[in-house]
Chains A and B, each alone.
Chain A
Amino acid sequence: MPSVQTGYAPNLKVFKQSLKTAPLESSIEYLISLLKRRQIKNSRPCAIATAELLRQVVAKSRWTDVGKLIARIQDVGQRLIEAQPREMAVGNIVRRVLGMVRDEANEDRTEDGSDTASSIGSPKRQHSHTELTSTQGPPPSSLRFSSTTEGSDLSEVNGDDVFGGRSTPSGRPPLMASHTSYAVVNGVPVQQSMFNLLSATPSPNATPSGPSGTNSPHGNHPLHATTLAERMIITSKDLRAEVINGIEEILDELEQVDDQIAAYAQEHIHSNEIILTHSSSVSVYKFLLKAAEKRKFTVIVAESYPNDHEETHLAAMGKMKDPESEEDGEGVYLKSLQAAGITVILMTDASVFAIMSRVNKVILATHAVIANGGLIAAAGARLIAKAAKVHRTPVIVVSGVYKLSPEYPFEFESLIEYGDPGNIVGYHDGTLVDNLEVDNPVYDYVPPDLVDLYITNLGAHAPSYLYRIVADHYKTEDINFHKPELQF
């Protein structure tokens, strides 16, 4: 909303500035309140805010071993998710950071060279580090990644009391009452473990009860106990730097993600095509701008009344806010589509079916993508996707990997947020306000069979492949970190 960005209303920029000076605990509380009041909203700002906060958590909080750090991040992450469970990007970033901490810790441990397993594992692990953190990792990395997790699992057999993040329930707040309707076990991690099973590697994570197995081999290494303390002191410093580095790389990725996605635009948009899009999204906007560098085409915009139409109208008038310019405080706009040579036709949502037979491609933005290949997008997206399906028009979804969530609810309604009914029937409608039931969903769930292609910063994928990307980016043990009751 424009009103949020004007004046001194707190937003992402204000939060970033306050992070520099405020003490950690108050920063956490501040972000929680911002999320609750939706003064930071939408995937990208939420993701950036979370990453910035976690950087401070790693840098400022006192921790002596990895287990404590993981517990601390889990605790903060849980509170953030609780504040705004439907901003799934928050949880995604927390999981990414957790996974990274685990990787870094594994790496440090094996670099000591005390494990026999490390001789096989470490070169691969090096790989995993670079791949995970590099923002432009090539898609094939996904295949290799599974082998490196095996390696790290091997080392965990020996070092689990050190990495005891799982076994410290004390630091965890009580069960969350909200969204218990979420899935019990994600389909994806099971797939991951199946993969490990088939690869016949002796890994404690091979079964779904993996994390509990990590506690069992306590007796294996009393030898390490003596050197443990001094090693921790050395490694924690390195680890801190490494983790902060990693978080900064995530932040870099968040900054570049739209441009990376846009790089695929010219493959998919051709001359004289008619593209239908919905609502206003920076990702889609940049995608179209990139394609317009070489091609002339027409874009039809459905305005997504009543929740997002103001922004859509502004974008159609060439006033799409540049997210990067927010630091300057001034509303600097992206280049308008029209200036790039695109003809823009603005239509109501109702006209979608009428013009669909002339549309060559539908490009949708998304709020979150879930592991089954479905997506959560601005309300009305489902109708558009279905109308496209009926007309056999391809539907392309443009989304950064950070929007990919490992959560897989059985009941999709739980992901839908309902907005202000006053946008539909206001008080000027008199008695209607009291007597009429009004519904204003903000998001739609679009099932995977309505989507033909996902374009992420890693490339283009079929919806059925997304679960692999989820598996590459999140560790099985982190998927339900915010729901202790679901952990084994």
Chain B
Amino acid sequence: MPSSDPPPMAEPLQMNPALVAAQYGAKAKGKQAASTQEASTPAPATAAPEEKKLTGAELKKKKQEEKAARRAQAIASKQVDVASPIAEPSPAAPAPAGSTPAPRTDGQEGARTQQRTAGPVSAGQRNIPVRQKQKAVAPAPIVPGKEDKTVEFFRHLYKTRTTSIAGASKEIHPAILALGLQMSNYTICGSCARLVATLQAFKRVIESYTTPPGNSLTRHLTSHVLSPQIDFLTSCRPISISMGNAIRWLKLEISKVDVDTPESEAKENLCNAIDVFLRERVTFADQIIAQSTADKIKDGDVIMTYAKSSIVQRSLVQAHNAGKKFKVIVVDSRPLHEGKHLATALVGLGMDVKYCLLNGLSHNIQDVTKVLLGAHAMMSNGRLFSRVGTALVAMEANEADKPVIVLCETIKFTERVALDSFVHNEIAPADELVIPGGALTNWENMKKLQLCNPMFDVTPAEYIQMIITESGNVPPTSVPVLHRLGNESQG
């Protein structure tokens, strides 16, 4: 395998210079706005009590109006700047997606970047963060007087997303800023793609790091440099299990750096370690899994898959390139329609593809010979944590006695357990469910109406016949064992 210097992966990062410049411009303005606002914010708080006896509510109202006007001005000036960097990834992203229907070369993680149609949804989101300028990371407080639109049984999972760089702390590295935004608008989507992109970005963070005098890299890097970066990424979109595993590994790696190592050497070692980690745990792992899966696909098979998983796509393409004749049924669902990207890619290769939404699942399951599913994570109790809807596909396949095979790198294994989808989950912004121009426009004004958009669900272990990993094919009961072995070999 050629040394993995994945060009498309670098692509999102390559546009950093322009992006960064724009961001810094925006940030400078953002800071100005923030400072003016900071100056104005305490004013009503202090002034109001003093003069309250004189003019009371009137004065307060006037101040509020002034503040609103100032704020609107700040937004207007910022949107000119912010709009361009956010819009920028969109034209860039189709490039890898468009070019990769051709046989994929190793390490083309960039194909995983999935472009989401930038609709009015993202345009609407752009206005939101202004309110939380001071505290970008903290979950937004529920505005008093407004109805709580969160669904009761998911309430512990709600987190607001940072969708712009406004208000980000200055210690956040530009590469991380760009990555955070790409994650929050699903330009980089998928557990593996996010993992790779995160580690690449961390590499740049480490490269540009210099230990301040009087500190050692081992003690300073993790707590003072990496942590804020991780916090920012988390605020953009909760980090995936695989990212969590990788970050834990990286912290361990940093803590193992000898204090006496010269800084430049230590940095180089860390970057090399990240490369090796990516190569071993992702690139090679994907290769092995794809090969193993492609071997299992026989002529005449009908393969069903749900949404889009990069490793499933890769396996199917590999089997197709090996000359196997089979049919693929892609099942998909709202709101992300990720399966459409998969179907597009497969159709581009001339494969026989059928596409349906979940409403057609029951009608197609009888024709299927194998079900291949991607994973977001494998839980330690053998359950599969994956895109919402996966459990339905597995259930239906199980009912029809079709084998369900999960493709999963061991980096996605976790020691966490979950019995249902409420334990861990990610609640995406409810506005994503609104169809532009559809009946749900202005749904916030409808009292007692809540929209709920969970990202994942948990598939019971008994629906899964086999997990194909780079360490072999195992039943779901072996997940904790493999996880432990993986960690021990690391440690």
User: Is B359 touching A349 in the complex (CB atoms < 8 A)?
Assistant: yes
| B contact residues around A319 at 8 Å (CB) | 439
Count residues on chain B whose CB falls below 8 Å from chain A CBs: 53
The answer to the question of A432 belonging to the interface, with a C-beta cut-off of 8 Å to chain B, is: yes
**A350 engages B334 (CB within 8 Å):** yes
A344:B439 contact, CB within 8 angstroms = no
Chain B 122-166 near chain A by CB (<8 Å), digits 1 or 0 = 000000000000000000000000000001110000000000000
B448 within 8 A of A: yes
Determine whether the beta carbon of A437 is less than 8 Å from that of B355: yes
**Which A residues lie within 8 Å of B452 (CB)?**
345-347, 351, 355
**Closest chain A residue to B354 by CB distance?**
A437
Q: Is B389 an interface residue (CB 8 A)?
A: yes
Q: Whole-angstrom distance from the CB of B483 to the nearest CB of chain A? A: 24
Set of chain B residues within 8 Å of A429, measured between Cβ atoms:
340, 344
Whether the pair A318, B347 counts as a contact (CB closer than 8 A) is no
Within residues 335 to 367 of chain A, which ones have a CB less than 8 A from any CB in chain B?
A: 338, 341-355, 357-358
Which residue in A317, A348, A390, A440 is a CB contact (below 8 Å) of B334? Answer: A348
Cβ 8 A contact of B364, one of A298, A353, A439? A439
B453 within 8 A of A: yes
- The 8 Å CB contact of A354, one of B352, B391, B449, B450, is B391
Cβ contacts A295-328/B at 8 Å (1 or 0 each) = 0001000011111011001101111000000000
Binds A, one of B43-51, B207-215, B313-321, B392-400: B392-400
Question: Which chain B positions have C-beta within 8 A of A342?
Answer: 448
Shortest distance between the CB of B427 and any CB in chain A (Å)? 11
Which of the residues B151, B355, B438 comes within 8 Å of A438, measured between beta carbons?
Answer: B355
Interface string of B424-466 (1 = CB under 8 A from A): 0100000001010011100100111111111011100000000
Minimal Cβ-Cβ distance residue in A for B151? A345
The verdict on B357 contacting chain A, using a C-beta distance below 8 Å, is yes
B363: CB under 8 A from chain A?
A: yes
- The answer to whether A354 and B454 touch across the interface, beta carbons within 8 angstroms, is yes
Q: Which residue of B lies closest to A315 (CB)?
A: B439
Q: Is the C-beta of B25 less than 8 angstroms from some C-beta in chain A? A: no
Question: Does B239 lie at the interface of the complex (its beta carbon under 8 Å from any beta carbon of A)?
Answer: no
Instruction: In the complex, identify which listed stretch (A176-184, A240-248, A380-388) lies at the interface while the others stay far away.
Output: A380-388
Which chain B residues lie closer than 8 Å to A87 at the CB level? none
CB neighbours (8 Å) of B391 from chain A are 353-354
Is B4 located at the chain interface by the 8 A CB criterion? no
Q: B355 → chain A, closest Cβ, in Å?
A: 5
Closest B residue, CB atoms, query A350 = B389
Asked if A93 is at the interface (CB within 8 A of a chain B CB), the reply is no
Query: Are B360's CB and A440's CB within 8 A?
Result: yes
- With a cutoff of 8 Å between Cβ atoms, the chain B residues found around residue A354 in the complex are 388, 391, 420-422, 425, 454, 456-458
In the complex, A444 has a CB within 8 A of chain B: yes
Q: Are B420's CB and A357's CB within 8 A?
A: yes
Question: How long is the Cα–Cα vector from A358 to B355 in the complex, in angstroms?
Answer: 31
B362 pairs with A444, CB closer than 8 A: yes
The distance from the CB of B345 to the nearest CB of chain A, in whole angstroms, is 11
> With A354-B388, A386-B399 in contact, is A349–B333 under 8 Å at CB?
yes
Main secondary structure of the interface of A (DSSP, over half): mixed
A435 at the interface (CB under 8 A from B): yes
Output the least CB separation between B444 and chain A (Å). Answer: 11
Within the complex, the shortest CB–CB distance from A24 to chain B, in Å, comes to 40
Tell me the minimal C-beta distance from A122 to chain B in angstroms: 51
| Chain A residues whose C-beta falls within 8 Å of the C-beta of B333 in the assembled complex | 305, 348-350
Chain A CB within 8 A of B343 CB: yes
Q: How far is the CA of A194 from the CA of B354 in the complex (A)?
A: 48
- What size tier do the contact residues of chain A reach? 35 or more
Please measure, in the bound complex, the distance between the C-alpha atom of A349 and the C-alpha atom of B452, giving whole angstroms: 11
Contact A386 B388 (CB under 8 A): no
B361 interface residue (CB < 8 Å to A): yes
Name the distance in Å between B213's Cβ and chain A's nearest Cβ: 52
Query: Taking A348-B333, A383-B396 as contacts, is the C-beta distance between A318 and B389 under 8 angstroms?
Result: no
Name which of A342, A347, A351 has the most chain B CB atoms within 10 A of its CB: A351
Cβ contacts under 8 Å, B360 to chain A: 379, 439-441
Q: Is B22 an interface residue (CB 8 A)?
A: no
With a CB–CB cut-off of 8 A, which chain B residues contact A438? 354-356
Residues in A with CB closer than 8 Å to B103 are none
Does B15 sit at the interface, judged by CB under 8 A? no
Q: A225 contacts the other chain (Cβ, under 8 Å)?
A: no
Q: Is A424 an interface residue (CB 8 A)?
A: yes
B354's contact among A383, A416, A431, A436, by CB below 8 Å, is which? A436
- Is the CB–CB distance between A317 and B439 below 8 Å? yes
Which residues does chain B contribute within 8 Å of A185, judged by CB atoms?
A: none
Does A424 contact B356, Cβ atoms closer than 8 Å? yes
The answer to whether A425 has its CB under 8 Å from any CB of chain B is yes
A379 touches B392 (CB 8 A): no
B449 x A353 contact (CB < 8 A):
no
Determine whether the beta carbon of B448 is less than 8 Å from that of A346.
Answer: no
In contact, A355 and B353 (Cβ under 8 angstroms): no
Instruction: List which A257-307 residues lie within 8 A (CB) of chain B.
Output: 298, 303-307
**CB <8 Å contact, B335 and A310:** no
Partner of A425, one of B340, B362, B422, B451: B340
Whether B121 is near chain A, meaning CB under 8 Å from some CB there, is: no
| Contact among B343, B356, B448 for A344, CB-based, below 8 A | B448
- C-beta contact mask, A41-57 vs B, less than 8 Å → 1, else 0? 00000000000000000
- B358: Cβ under 8 A from any A Cβ: yes
Q: Are A432 and B356 also in contact (CB < 8 A) when A316-B449, A338-B448, A439-B364 are?
A: no
- Which residues between 336 and 390 of chain B lie within 8 Å of chain A, taking CB atoms? 340, 343-344, 347, 352-364, 387-389
A309, A317, A444, most chain B CB atoms within 10 A: A317
Q: Residue among B334, B353, B396, B448 with the most chain A CB within 10 A?
A: B448
Q: Are B358 and A349 in contact (CB under 8 A)?
A: yes
Give B309 Cβ to nearest chain A Cβ, in Å.
Answer: 15
The complex places the Cα of A318 from the Cα of B442 at a distance, in Å, of 13
Per the bound structure, the CA–CA distance linking A85 and B396 in Å amounts to 29
* Contact residues of A between 399 and 437, Cβ < 8 Å to B: 413, 416, 424-425, 429, 431-432, 435-437
- Contacts known (A350-B334, A435-B347); A425 close to B449, Cβ less than 8 A: no
- With A303-B334, A436-B343, A436-B354 given, can you name 12 additional A-B contacts, CB distance below 8 Å? A316-B439, A345-B450, A348-B389, A353-B395, A354-B421, A357-B422, A424-B356, A437-B353, A437-B354, A439-B355, A439-B360, A444-B362
Top 10 closest pairs, chain A to chain B, by CB: A350-B389, A354-B421, A379-B359, A313-B439, A354-B457, A338-B448, A353-B391, A350-B333, A439-B356, A437-B354
Q: Which residues of A contact B (CB under 8 A)?
A: 298, 303-307, 309-310, 313-314, 316-319, 338, 341-355, 357-358, 379-380, 382-383, 386-387, 390, 413, 416, 424-425, 429, 431-432, 435-441, 444
Interchain residue pairs with CB less than 8 A apart (21)? A304-B359, A309-B435, A317-B449, A346-B452, A347-B453, A348-B333, A348-B389, A350-B392, A350-B457, A351-B388, A354-B388, A355-B153, A379-B362, A379-B363, A380-B358, A383-B395, A424-B355, A425-B355, A435-B347, A436-B355, A437-B353
Binding site for A on B (CB under 8 A): 151-153, 333-335, 340, 343-344, 347, 352-364, 387-389, 391-392, 395-396, 399, 420-422, 425, 433, 435, 438-440, 443, 446-454, 456-458
